[in-house]
Amino acid sequence: MNEHALLNIKNLITLWEKASSPFNGFFTDEQLTYVRIPNSDWPNRVWLKQTLDEPALKEVLEIITTSPITLSFSYWDDTESTRYKLVEQYGFEQKSAQIGMSMGLGQKFKEEQRLTFEQVNQPEQAKIWTDVYPQSFKYHINPEILIKTFNQITYYTIYLDKTPIGTVLTIQAENAIGIHGLGIIPQMRKRGFAEETMAYILNKAIDNQLTYAYLQASELGKNIYLNMGFTVDFTMRNYINQLPAI
In a domain, 207, yes or no: yes
In a domain, 109, yes or no: no
Please tell me whether residues 125 and 171 are part of one structural domain: yes
* Residues 165, 35 contacting (CB under 8 angstroms): no
pLDDT of 79 reads: 86
In a domain, 107, yes or no: no
pLDDT of 220 reads: 83
In a domain, 54, yes or no: yes
Residues 115-125 have pLDDT tens digits of 999 999 999 99
Please tell me whether residues 179 and 88 are part of one structural domain: no
* Residues 159, 185 contacting (CB under 8 angstroms): no
**pTM (2 d.p.):** 0.94
pLDDT of 244 reads: 47
Please tell me whether residues 122 and 37 are part of one structural domain: no
CA distances to 22, 149, 155 from 186, in Å: 32, 27, 20
At residue 242 the predicted structure's pLDDT band, cuts being 50, 70 and 90, is low
Please tell me whether residues 128 and 204 are part of one structural domain: yes
At residue 145 the predicted structure's pLDDT band, cuts being 50, 70 and 90, is very high
At residue 204 the predicted structure's pLDDT band, cuts being 50, 70 and 90, is very high
Please tell me whether residues 141 and 79 are part of one structural domain: no
* Residues 143, 125 contacting (CB under 8 angstroms): no
At residue 80 the predicted structure's pLDDT band, cuts being 50, 70 and 90, is confident
Please tell me whether residues 171 and 137 are part of one structural domain: yes
In a domain, 191, yes or no: yes
At residue 243 the predicted structure's pLDDT band, cuts being 50, 70 and 90, is low
In a domain, 132, yes or no: yes
Q: What is the mean pLDDT of residues 155-172?
A: 98
Q: Is the pLDDT of residue 245 over 80?
A: no
Please tell me whether residues 141 and 226 are part of one structural domain: yes
Please tell me whether residues 126 and 226 are part of one structural domain: yes
In a domain, 105, yes or no: no
User: Bridge partners of 48?
Assistant: 32
In a domain, 246, yes or no: no
Residue at 160: amino acid letter: L
Domain that holds residue 156: 115-233
Q: What is the CATH number of the domain that holds 185?
A: 3.40.630.30
pLDDT of 1 reads: 84
Please tell me whether residues 204 and 171 are part of one structural domain: yes
Question: How many structural domains compose the chain?
Answer: 2
Residues 38-74 have pLDDT tens digits of 999 999 999 999 889 999 999 999 999 999 999 999 9
Q: Rounded to 5 degrees, what are φ and ψ at 99?
A: -110, 115
At residue 174 the predicted structure's pLDDT band, cuts being 50, 70 and 90, is confident
At residue 241 the predicted structure's pLDDT band, cuts being 50, 70 and 90, is confident
Q: What is the CATH number of the domain that holds 35?
A: 3.40.630
Q: What is the mean pLDDT of residues 159-182?
A: 97
Please tell me whether residues 171 and 87 are part of one structural domain: no
Please tell me whether residues 221 and 145 are part of one structural domain: yes
User: Bridge partners of 157?
Assistant: 118, 167
